[in-house]
Structure 1
């Protein structure tokens, strides 16, 4: 595939500034911005705008969509966007598919291992106490399979895989269920994906049954990773578009934006039959978050790479260049201790309820300064 697509590619930078900035914007929300806006809402309870923002920074209980649901799939989408600039570049340099296949599998497995550490820490635990599904684990598995499809198929076939996985997953959940439930049951107890997870996965799942029994459902379960592969593939197809020289930058921006709007409309229509649900990573959810991801990518790409306005995005780029590091750092660094060590006086001076707001701001500041130091030293955690 690399040979047939190489003629359509131009000499592009190995990293898109807009992609790093968007990745940083994504990570910004889970490295402390969510806590900042939640504390602001508590400090100013009468503000309707802050209440809306605070609500959007929490996951719905089951069906539905909030902004917070976008963070995880947007990161996976961007991992896909980077593929043509990394794996594709190595193909163009003459690396064989077999060599790159090993690299892709290795990266996927490393992410799965990091996910295990993020969930369970480094101490040994009984098997029953280990949670195997994880955010990084899903990214690793979906990234791996999406990249394998990229390595061994052409662009049209990648599009076919994208839709086949979504439609196949929809049909599976529509005509199956857990034992004792009617076909197409999409409740936490009755859906087929959760049933498969609790049947085959060792350890424990994230969500218990309503009666207190463990292991009902896991939002990062194995079976619902199937449609997540399509999220990665959409990112890869977007990266391929961004590398093509037969499209102008404006055409690339427009194509991403138009497809993004179409996907959102299709998602809202599909929602009537297959509800938008992050817990199950439903096909309608893939289209919705894919559409929003495309709109954000087109906006960041247009403003940063087309118009050249980069300075404002430096704050986010510093985060985006070390996204895995800041995600994993909380397992090894007690960031709240650093805030108490340096800014406890400021938090106390602010008093209640504004002390929580000041604490959240200081936490964000310390994390960003840490990432900025690593950025200046050119130290990046790459998988």
Structure 2
């Protein structure tokens, strides 16, 4: 692999084998843990223990109404980032095996279509296909599919540096669009719930139902900044794939992460951090956080070799699609009540929902462990 002199730049040749890193599976598992019940469990602890620290942590698992940021806002951006990181490994491995770019692109395009369909089902079940006007077409899975497809095309055709510049350019153009393009009835630069360009664009061009009524945070325009997280994740993947020392890889991740966080906080002064708008400051902040969190997991698990503690997360991370859909279509909390209420009913009543949520997540993990032990890993 060839490395140029710029400290955070990576130019690569394709290695013969892209080794799977346990840290990526573990971090994805940590992320899915928050989505599949862990976040809800922590939130439910708020106001019950009498411990100020726990109450403060619980507040981090509720989304702000508009501007602002909590740790819970980081969960989906982290998944998009890791999708880009994993994509770098899978595409590098595919190209090294002699699979052509066209064949890989077709495969990822089909994957995108499947994820879009699953996303529509997820957001609308039970879906009424005879009433398309009331179907919500924007979805988490659809966003992942679109971002990884476009990200893959960029990955296979552009260098590390070009993709970095493209990601930053998209965020700058997105900011300028929301600031300079006038919205009928509100004018230019209105970033309020009612007057922002994203909402106007959704109302006029997005078919079907919008989640928030006047806009949908998973609709059209916000796809552009969200894509940047997958681009940034692919940059992180290339750093991990490169023939640098572990210390050099960590340094590059930390540099990029620090720059991202500082840039996001500075940008916040003119373009508020806002998950609903996927503002450029929000993308830079969460992208920076993802670089640093991935570096920590990589250092602890793959470099220092402390892997046993991460098994709990890796069981989740290796079947992320299964768990995402399972918690939507299987009522694990109802099963938890049937199985465990006889134990926790003697606890104070305000703790019942906490124990029930914990039991529900235990069932989720045991289900994933069963799949893991039987080597069943569902991929799209």
Alignment TM-score > 0.5, same fold: yes
What is the CA–CA distance in structure 2 between the aligned matches of 1:166 and 1:9, rounded to whole Å?
31
Give the secondary-structure state (helix, strand or coil) at the position aligned to 2:220. Answer: coil
Give the secondary-structure state (helix, strand or coil) at the position aligned to 2:361. Answer: helix
Residue 75, structure 1, aligned to residue 73, structure 2 = no
Whether the 8 Å CA contact 2:46–2:59 is kept in 1: the answer is: no
Aligned partner of 2:67 in structure 1 is 63
Q: 1:294 aligns with which of 291, 294, 297?
A: 291
Residue 377, structure 1, aligned to residue 374, structure 2 = yes
Aligned partner of 1:239 in structure 2 is 237
Compute the RMSD of aligned alpha carbons.
Answer: 1.8
How far 1:94 moved relative to its partner? Answer: 1.3
Aligned partner of 1:121 in structure 2 is 125
Whether the 8 Å CA contact 2:25–2:317 is kept in 1: the answer is: yes
Aligned partner of 2:5 in structure 1 is none
Aligned partner of 2:203 in structure 1 is 198
What is the CA–CA distance in structure 2 between the aligned matches of 1:184 and 1:315, rounded to whole Å?
46
What pairs up with 1:215-254 in 2 under 5 angstroms? Answer: 215-245=213-243, 247-254=244-251
Query: Deviations 1:252-277 (Å, cap 9, x if unpaired)?
Result: 01210121111111111111111111
Give the secondary-structure state (helix, strand or coil) at the position aligned to 2:346. Answer: helix
Whether the 8 Å CA contact 1:346–1:358 is kept in 2: the answer is: no
Residue 342, structure 1, aligned to residue 339, structure 2 = yes
What is the CA–CA distance in structure 2 between the aligned matches of 1:111 and 1:146, rounded to whole Å?
15
Q: 2:92 aligns with which of 79, 88, 92?
A: 88
CA distance 1:83–1:376, shift in 2 (3 Å):
same
Query: Deviations 1:162-187 (Å, cap 9, x if unpaired)?
Result: 11111111111110142111211111
Give the secondary-structure state (helix, strand or coil) at the position aligned to 1:325. Answer: helix
How far 1:10 moved relative to its partner? Answer: 6.8
What is the CA–CA distance in structure 2 between the aligned matches of 1:9 and 1:265, rounded to whole Å?
33
Give the secondary-structure state (helix, strand or coil) at the position aligned to 1:331. Answer: helix
Aligned partner of 1:23 in structure 2 is 28
Residue 310, structure 1, aligned to residue 307, structure 2 = yes
Whether the 8 Å CA contact 1:350–1:358 is kept in 2: the answer is: no
TM-score, length-scaled by structure 1? 0.93
Aligned partner of 1:173 in structure 2 is 178
Aligned residue-pair number: 372
How far 1:330 moved relative to its partner? Answer: 2.4
How far 1:52 moved relative to its partner? Answer: 1.1
How far 1:331 moved relative to its partner? Answer: 3.0
Gaps of 5+ in 2: 1-9
What is the CA–CA distance in structure 1 between the aligned matches of 2:122 and 2:199, rounded to whole Å?
22
Q: Which runs of 4+ in 1 moved over 3 A?
A: 4-12
TM-score, length-scaled by structure 2? 0.94
Give the secondary-structure state (helix, strand or coil) at the position aligned to 1:353. Answer: helix
